[in-house]
Chain A
Amino acid sequence: MSDVIVIEGGRVIDPASGTDGVRTVVLKDGTVAAVAERADRPAGAQVVDARGRWVTPGFIDLHVHLREPGQEYKETVATGARAAVAGGFTAVVAMPNTKPVNDTLAVTELILARAAAAGLARVYPCGAISRGSGGEELAEYGELKAGGCVALSDDGKPVMNAALMRRALEYALAFGLPLTVHEEDLQLVGKGVMHEGATSTRLGLKGIPGQAEDVMVLRDVALAELTGGRLHIAHLSSAGAVRAVREAKRRGLRVTAEVTPHHLTLTDEDVAASGYSTDFKMNPPLRSAADVAACIEGLADGTIDAIATDHAPHSLVEKDVEFDAAANGIVGLETAFPVCLALVRAGKLTERRLIEALTAGPARAFGLPGGRLAPGAPADVAVLDPQAAWRCEPAALYSKSHNSPWKGRTLTGRCTHAFVGGRLVHQADGEKR
């Protein structure tokens, strides 16, 4: 790939290097060659006219479910990576709750091989904290790390055994791997299917209090203090969890956190308004307006490091059923940018924080390459049109699954071009080269 790409006329927003202004970005040999107010067009360079657009580092999603191996009817590494680049994500962390669970080198290698064959977004596998994510024995972190895993998680399940969690945090220190944890106390959750409050009472659905998340975050912050381990709170959703992470950071603990676009923009009342639509069922559940406000505040003030989608494809088999019986989760890669951009429009978040939480924030949290547009950095770039309106409907999505709460809605903001390693991997319909 010796092609040179010149992205001209766009507003470069790169919080990592403090750039915000019209610049020309030159990509060469898989890396960023220049970000400058004036740059020459080398002969034969491909030129992208980015006037009126934003040019940012490619987004990094710390939390996606690609479903391969095992549930390829919902998504594959290739379709998930395609959806990722369509949403501006040039790198994704693939959660290990596949079938079988990614607790061995063989599964890690399969995911990486499929990702390489697809040649789209970079896919970083996440290994399991416990064997089979069963919560009883440690998985082989040394082998997982050697195979290419960048983090450890039993996502979908909390590590209920505190002693195991303590040892996992300690053992992972040898490999420099963060633990990204799904926080909920299963006994407090019980048979809950949505956030507990006046809305769950009115709908007659069993509730899950925000405190089911808080108590586990508080426990794990204490264990991070005990062990000095690297703790990352996955899909944080409650006001109490935001407070716990803020306090942990204030005290200098190695704790980071992510929040999803849906926990920043939807509430439990949307479950009622949708008429029990299972596209509004996820775990953690959509919480109260106060929790949403706390998450936005935590994102704005830096308590929360990253926006992660928790992209969770499910087919109609799992979703076209009673609310109680439906699977948790929604697809999110292709809607994250416009959904979060609405927060900027509403004056709740700055453009800089939004882009930082999609780029430098997640890169720092897991120690990943990318997340910045500076000479020498990987040529992973998103070109975004913040004004483009499009209708979110199944035909418009690259993901195999369409379980989105924004289905049928018009969203504003889209990725027009995505580059990975200096290669154009996505171009929106109607865009010319």
Chain B
Amino acid sequence: MTKSSRRLLGLLVFGALAVVWSYIAYRLWKTSVPTNLKLPKVDMSALVGASELQRARHFSLILDLFGLAGVFLPLVVLAFYAKWGHRFMRESAAGPIGTGMLLAMLGIAILWIAMLPSTLGELWWLRRYGIEKTGYAETVIGTWSALGAEFLGICLIILIVMGFARLLGDRWWLAGAPIFVGIALLVTFVQPYMAGLQPVEGHAALVQAEKRMGKQEGVGNIPLKEENVSEFTTAPNAEAMGLGPSRRIGLWSTILDGRFSEPQLEVVVAHELAHHKHNDLWKGVGWYALFAFPIAYLIARLTRRRGGMAVPLAVPLFLFAWVGLSTLTLPIDNAFSRRLEAEADWTALQTTRDPQAAKALFVNFVQTTNEDPNPPFWDPLLFGSHPTEEQRIGMVEAWQARSGG
């Protein structure tokens, strides 16, 4: 085979893969929310009050600054680490993979140290507004201990990447990416068993409503559980968890503490059931898989200049490339998440047919979380996994208009 025909074949394969990738991305991107849905402008100050709105904007602005530090500081720290991190090789008596593990763990450790002021600053801000309850020392010790799990995770990743790199050279990503997807599937599956879920007590009507709505949405009997987080935070939340037999709905104890009415809680539960109805957790893993392959490929290309992932010298650059590429995909990941959340809101409205409760719920979210209901355009790009509260209320009004309510 000549050089030009090899190039042509390569282009054809790349083109075919790009078509498959685009088709899968399109299928995952598509939702049941009507494409021609126009969200009306909502006067948030009339709903939550001008002073509360001002307070939410102030709170969110400063929180966003800490958030920006959380996104960009790791890039700066890991860029330095990519340049000088190899010096820590002298701290190792292990073989190449063991030394790679040490370099990866030290990279994360240095990141933890660099992020500590920002972490504590954010905690101070959240405590000031009564959102967080955790103490400063508790946070330092807690995040330090949590590094143990992160170290284990990164060691597993390095073992997979370097192990395959030593076997397959620069093609390690072909074997590594499917394993990462498998791990993502496993983590999604076991998450409900690790979350310390308890039975929901004192909300018998809500439990009955969940069973009824589960039948209505065609998802069967999904256990409704409570996660006790009141010791650490006042922020309300709920989440759909698990795959197949491990499917659960977890309501944070903070949403069951009396600040939300039963009809509002029914909207929350219907929203989480909708995630299961639309297989959003599977879609999340699928979306991850869609990016895992190209990101792993690009990392393999980038780390070639340090001798490839078979040698520990490339590990600091690997960390930087991984975090850098993940940051680049953050806006599209958040956009994807917002679409799934918007679809779950829409389905919850169809299920409960209670727009007043939905609207009251979203107003209540602004009041209890202090989050800006209409943040600046860049905020959702970097941090917006859900539509803004203004958009969610807008959707309720659009649904009402369509349903003649």
* A and B physically associate: no
Q: Which B residues form the contact surface with A (CB < 8 A)?
A: none
Q: Which A residues form the contact surface with B (CB < 8 A)?
A: none
